[in-house]
Structure 1
């Protein structure tokens, strides 16, 4: 027994001596550089690319079996570039010798220095690694058979890697089809650990530089990584990514490049077998300046938890919170499915109370100097949304803006259609809106030009105004709007209801109804841009409008009062404003009952036969009360004509006829004011903005004589005092004529 043990010891010692001798002698007698041609030929045969080892090949056997390559390069695809696809300055890999005897692989730190990797696509979209993939496919069958045999002969108990270091690497991506080129340089990566199943630390840094687009940035990444191979999972804890964006030009030469800092932190757990990835405690903080950013600086923060399954194409985002400009904050949740095929997403977003006015200031927008200094100081919102099947839906919307509450739903669809805008449907409601609060204050209104220039510019603007025909043809809208109370320019309205439709070039605001100053307004507006010559129509009915309250909202003392009504039925052809006026057809009817007109008095009772002009005590001298005012216009080719202007007071009346040319904005009207004692003919001619008013004196005498004759004839028939009646008429008529010519005005 002792003899056997001695023999075994001697054999083991001899084997050890032989191994040590081999480790010492082989490097001395074998030079691996003598086999460079064979190595280069083998790689070239396997890849179809040129392979060169310009530096030395170094081998080691104990206590680590390893090799070191210096200055190695692999050629590029022949159709892409003459620059090598891969260059390596130095590569060093070592495996422990003794652990191999126990079927354990222990890898010393792998070193890779000066890696240069050049990837890209040519002008036809063909990648420079496509031939390598094809070459690999050719040998996959035979390699699989060899792999199966070797796996049966030699199984590995464990694998551990002490570390990986990549230093001074550079990766270039060039897309010749899009004419884009990116370069990531100064890449340094370090992985330290002892076993793939135990946590290890990874760090990565790089500089990114690109000419088109113009980008320059530095990125740093650190993470604590655990690979659980038996469970097919990877866990990254305490991950942090820092990006220093030094320059990003966005094709806006007039603006300075975008720059700033971004910091992303979070924990990741991913299962590559089930495709499930969980991202917890995600936080993104950024500060960006320049570029298109309103206010030239933005501070933003984002936080969320996320669960993504890339195999099932689903995502769930919870605890979402975002903040921008230190003013606007939102929270929400959403989930999605079919992410990579036909995305379907739905969720809830809540905007916390914020000040739009303060946000505008932070964004360097023009200051809002509104009538109400508290306007746009409070806003909050909540909405439920969904997106899918080429359709976005706001299922429930609630917005609080100052004292107004908006609610409703909205849908936009057909985003992918090649022509026209997406279709839009909506149903919106507001309880009460005071627009006057948001109008510019009087002190903010500045005179930028002379009144004459303003009138001229307004006239030119109207004449050159034109319907946006192509835009109208692209609209696809069907919506309803309801407002409980609305105040605009001091005009209070309520119960506003409107429907807007637009399809195939036909746009309609029909119906539109509201209550205004105790009256009701109903209107239908249609523009049909689908016709060769667009056709516009307006039907309007206004009933029982309180004139005094209406005009009182514009002026301190109302110019008129009464109950008014208006009917309009108009049609116009053309797309230009001036053409539409010249082709306008239709009817307009205006009527007012039991009211007054301030500024003059048409009552013969103000004249006394003995005292002359003598208004009663307490009478308002410049106010004419009327029983009825009526005007009917017939419009043809932009010319509005009337033979039916009638004003009826208690003791007087006015009849009128004439025309208004809407295209030239000129009028030609005549009126007969019957004051009982005489009839005063009045002519109104010229521009609507500055008409010329004249009195036909020759007709006054004629009308007075006719009136005297009429009285005489009537008196003869009735047997009255002919002389007295004629004298009275002549006396009062003469007084009226004298007053018209600037005589006594008692």
Structure 2
């Protein structure tokens, strides 16, 4: 074996000698050649390639043994002439170290790449030009010259021998920062303490990535902190990426007196992206922030040609009000302190470049279950479609407490118009919506509505809706609304048609006002026009007409028939005034029409029919003040000689004035209208015989019809 060992020893000695000679030569070169002498050439090369000025005020140093390395001091890359006030990038120190021996095996193994004190100034000027546009254009031009990666993938065997493996043991970015200055909008964002550490960076191998930074708007609170950790695997063609154990932690800190900190974390078990297949997949996605927990499974397709991401999202029950408070978004006071304390949601989503679609929505807000779908297209000018079904909604719990006692007379159509009108003018003009909303039961302003259906469409400032209530106090309601806005400074114009049929007025008034001054079955139709942003403004501007009818009605607070009977009792020698009983006046029907002008209802054809009298009336009702000013003329019916005979009336009218408000009407009797010469003579004859009864009647009139009624009779007599 000696004849074999000797040549091997000679070859080994020769190789070691050549290696030592090379290292010695490199050491001699590094000692005698100063890399700083090449600064002008480096600066000229950067100028040639980028058109930008490079400054190298710091020292350049290099080493050969035991590792090949180069380090620099301060480096400054200037902006273009459009941004002369600050440099584009500065680096305080940089270093790169490469291992010698792997180079002999066609492997580039970098021990360390480090940048310290990197600072970027990103700017958008008043004309909308950004200070990196030229670099992006240069990069795209260079990318066009590169080898086609798809071609390279198709011939891996051919390229295997020429391939150079690349690996970096340690990549460090320390004390880095970034400023974003948008001079068009006046917004400035500062990124500070940017740190990046990557270990074992190599193709087809998992690399450990850790990064952190802080971000805030210049001179403002709050401060946003981010920390990112994951294992990243990239193939050598840069068209397949995998993140395993991804975790992003976020902390918002606000040092103002009323603010609270907010923490959140986003995790994903596995995230993959395949450029060739244009696919993406995210599994085990979980967002946690206080009481909020969001789980998701997502996948994407055609991610280059036409990106589409779909998946499922689940949010277990949590306290939304408390979470928003922690996030610094305090809700306004509501009538129910437990409002928005139990919220949960499940849905499927589809997101594309054109919009987002939410399907199979199944959620709960407090005691309300929600189902349906919604879509939002065209983010520049949003278009919204929805079809939502709710079981039971108590809207009162979400209204401000002060509104609990302020319940003006209104209709579903006017309330809807007022809600829409509160939106900013620009929002209304840009609103593009087409949707359906149905509720099994809705409670609002203490009114209970069942089987509620709303269809609403809107585009370019023209909004229309149709609304129906299948069970509205044992009756039904339907209406249509048209809202138009073409003047930026003016309030929306509305046109409203509404119909109510077989509505029980007593429970309706009880729920709305707390008590009812009337019973019966109501039928109402109206055609109205108005302008305003609130229910009050809309009501004060209303113009139009309406028809109304009340069947089997009773007006509470006075008994007209009993008053008439008491007066008639004076004609009888033995008459005794009937004791007080049911203080209401019954009508078989009340009907009429009305015209509206600036919120004032004028009615001149009121007819109220009873079994023993007929009442004709005219007057006004003010929707702005709820005030009433009516005069009712009542005539007693004569007994018919035969059922087929025409209705006959006594000549003496009973005139009643109605004042006060819808909630508190005040009735008074015009006694002077009763006193024809014939009646006056009869009464004078009876006064002496029935003084005690008359005094009792006058006292009763004072109590029931208001102070002064008895005095008026005394003056007349």
Mark yes or no: TM-score above 0.5. yes
Contact 2:336-2:397 at 8 Å conserved across structures: yes
The 1:315/1:589 distance shift into structure 2, 3 A limit, reads same
Contact 2:335-2:404 at 8 Å conserved across structures: no
2:644 alignment counterpart: none
| Pair 1:333-2:294 in alignment | no
Of 248, 251, 257, the residue aligned with 2:222 is 257
Matching of residues 40-439 of structure 1 within 5 Å: 43=42, 125=130, 212-217=188-193, 219=195, 221=197, 223-225=198-200, 227-228=202-203, 233-237=204-208, 239-243=209-213, 245=214, 248-250=215-217, 253=220, 256-260=221-225, 262-273=226-237, 275-290=239-254, 296-304=260-268, 305-325=270-290, 327-339=291-303, 342-360=306-324, 362-363=326-327, 375-388=339-352, 390-417=354-381, 422-438=382-398
Instruction: Render the CA deviation track for 1:508-563: whole Å, top value 9, x for unaligned.
Output: 22142331221111222222335999753222221222223223335676322122
The 1:343/1:302 distance shift into structure 2, 3 A limit, reads same
Contact 1:385-1:395 at 8 Å conserved across structures: yes
Shifted more, 514-523 versus 529-538: the winner is: 529-538
What is the deviation of 1:354? 1.8
The 1:655/1:729 distance shift into structure 2, 3 A limit, reads farther
| Pair 1:542-2:500 in alignment | yes
Distance in 2 (CA, whole Å) between partners of 1:131 and 1:416 is 25
| Pair 1:614-2:577 in alignment | yes
Distance in 2 (CA, whole Å) between partners of 1:612 and 1:428 is 67
* Residues matched between the structures, number: 640
What is the deviation of 1:500? 1.3
Instruction: Render the CA deviation track for 1:593-615: whole Å, top value 9, x for unaligned.
Output: 22322211111345533454533
Distance in 2 (CA, whole Å) between partners of 1:6 and 1:22 is 24
Matching of residues 283-682 of structure 1 within 5 Å: 283-290=247-254, 296-304=260-268, 305-325=270-290, 327-339=291-303, 342-360=306-324, 362-363=326-327, 375-388=339-352, 390-417=354-381, 422-438=382-398, 470-529=426-485, 535-554=493-512, 558-572=516-530, 584-603=542-561, 604-606=564-566, 608=569, 609-612=572-575, 614-615=577-578, 620-635=581-596, 640-659=601-620, 669-674=630-635, 678-682=652-656
The 1:241/1:545 distance shift into structure 2, 3 A limit, reads same
The 1:611/1:468 distance shift into structure 2, 3 A limit, reads farther
Q: Secondary structure at the match of 2:655?
A: strand
Distance in 2 (CA, whole Å) between partners of 1:357 and 1:215 is 31
Distance in 2 (CA, whole Å) between partners of 1:131 and 1:621 is 89
Q: Secondary structure at the match of 1:214?
A: strand
The 1:585/1:731 distance shift into structure 2, 3 A limit, reads farther
Instruction: Render the CA deviation track for 1:145-180: whole Å, top value 9, x for unaligned.
Output: xxxxxxxxxx9999898967879x776767888699
Instruction: Render the CA deviation track for 1:398-435: whole Å, top value 9, x for unaligned.
Output: 11233321111112222234xxxx22221111122233
Distance in 2 (CA, whole Å) between partners of 1:567 and 1:86 is 75
Larger RCO (alpha carbons 8 Å, 6+ apart): 2
Instruction: Render the CA deviation track for 1:622-651: whole Å, top value 9, x for unaligned.
Output: 222222222321346766433322222332
Distance in 2 (CA, whole Å) between partners of 1:7 and 1:544 is 116
Distance in 2 (CA, whole Å) between partners of 1:481 and 1:554 is 24
Gaps of 5+ in 2: 147-160, 407-417, 638-649, 702-708
The 1:386/1:11 distance shift into structure 2, 3 A limit, reads closer
What is the deviation of 1:384? 1.1
The 1:20/1:482 distance shift into structure 2, 3 A limit, reads closer
1:196 alignment counterpart: none
2:710 alignment counterpart: 741
Contact 1:357-1:368 at 8 Å conserved across structures: no
Contact 1:108-1:161 at 8 Å conserved across structures: yes
Contact 1:542-1:565 at 8 Å conserved across structures: yes
Distance in 2 (CA, whole Å) between partners of 1:583 and 1:440 is 25
Contact 1:655-1:672 at 8 Å conserved across structures: yes
Q: Secondary structure at the match of 1:213?
A: strand
Contact 1:541-1:568 at 8 Å conserved across structures: yes
Q: TM-score, with normalisation over the residues of structure 1?
A: 0.67
Distance in 1 (CA, whole Å) between partners of 2:184 and 2:428 is 38
Q: Secondary structure at the match of 1:234?
A: coil
The 1:655/1:86 distance shift into structure 2, 3 A limit, reads closer
Distance in 1 (CA, whole Å) between partners of 2:424 and 2:77 is 59
Shifted more, 629-638 versus 270-279: the winner is: 629-638
What is the deviation of 1:690? 9.6
Contact 2:177-2:192 at 8 Å conserved across structures: no
Instruction: Render the CA deviation track for 1:304-325: whole Å, top value 9, x for unaligned.
Output: 1211124554321111111112
Contact 1:390-1:416 at 8 Å conserved across structures: no
What is the deviation of 1:382? 0.8
Shifted more, 299-308 versus 734-743: the winner is: 734-743
The 1:728/1:470 distance shift into structure 2, 3 A limit, reads farther
Instruction: Render the CA deviation track for 1:652-698: whole Å, top value 9, x for unaligned.
Output: 33221234576898765432233578523345679999999765554
Q: Secondary structure at the match of 2:674?
A: helix
Contact 2:179-2:190 at 8 Å conserved across structures: no
Instruction: Render the CA deviation track for 1:429-473: whole Å, top value 9, x for unaligned.
Output: 11222334555679x9899xxxxxxxxxxxxxx9xx999655433
Contact 2:355-2:379 at 8 Å conserved across structures: yes
Q: Secondary structure at the match of 2:206?
A: strand
Matching of residues 685-724 of structure 1 within 5 Å: 696-702=670-676, 705=678
Q: Secondary structure at the match of 2:581?
A: coil
Contact 2:244-2:271 at 8 Å conserved across structures: yes
What is the deviation of 1:214? 3.4
Distance in 1 (CA, whole Å) between partners of 2:631 and 2:118 is 94
The 1:174/1:104 distance shift into structure 2, 3 A limit, reads same
Gaps of 5+ in 1: 142-154, 181-210, 448-461, 709-723
Q: Secondary structure at the match of 2:578?
A: coil
Contact 2:61-2:71 at 8 Å conserved across structures: yes
1:720 alignment counterpart: none
Q: Secondary structure at the match of 2:217?
A: coil
Contact 1:121-1:128 at 8 Å conserved across structures: no
Contact 1:77-1:129 at 8 Å conserved across structures: no
Instruction: Render the CA deviation track for 1:365-392: whole Å, top value 9, x for unaligned.
Output: 6578766666544322111111225232
Distance in 2 (CA, whole Å) between partners of 1:160 and 1:283 is 27
What is the deviation of 1:566? 1.6
Q: Secondary structure at the match of 1:553?
A: helix
